[in-house]
Amino acid sequence: MFQRILLAVGFSDARAHTLDAVATLAQRFGSSVHVVHIAPIAVMATAVVAIEEDDDARRMLDESVKTLLDAGVQADGELLGGLRNEVPAAISAAAERVGADLLVLSPHHRGAVAAWFDPSVSDAVSHAARVPILLIPDVSS
pLDDT at res. 34: 98
**Is 79 contained in some domain?**
yes
Tens of pLDDT, residues 15-24 = 889 999 999 9
Does residue 116 fall inside a structural domain?
no
**How many domains are there within the chain?**
1
pTM above 0.85, yes or no: no
Is 121 within a domain? Answer: no
Report yes or no on 139 lying in a domain. no
User: Is 115 inside a domain boundary?
Assistant: no
Q: What is the mean pLDDT of the chain?
A: 83
Residue 31 domain boundaries: 4-84+92-107
Residue 8 located in a structural domain: yes
Q: What is the CATH number of the domain that holds 47?
A: 3.40.50.620
H helix intervals, the chain: 15-29, 54-70, 87-97, 112-117, 121-128
In a domain, 140, yes or no: no
pLDDT of residue 4: 97
Q: Does a structural domain hold residue 118?
A: no
pLDDT of 89 reads: 85
Q: Model confidence over 93-136: pLDDT tens digits?
A: 999 999 999 999 887 554 444 444 445 666 666 767 778 888 88
CA distance 77 to 37: 8
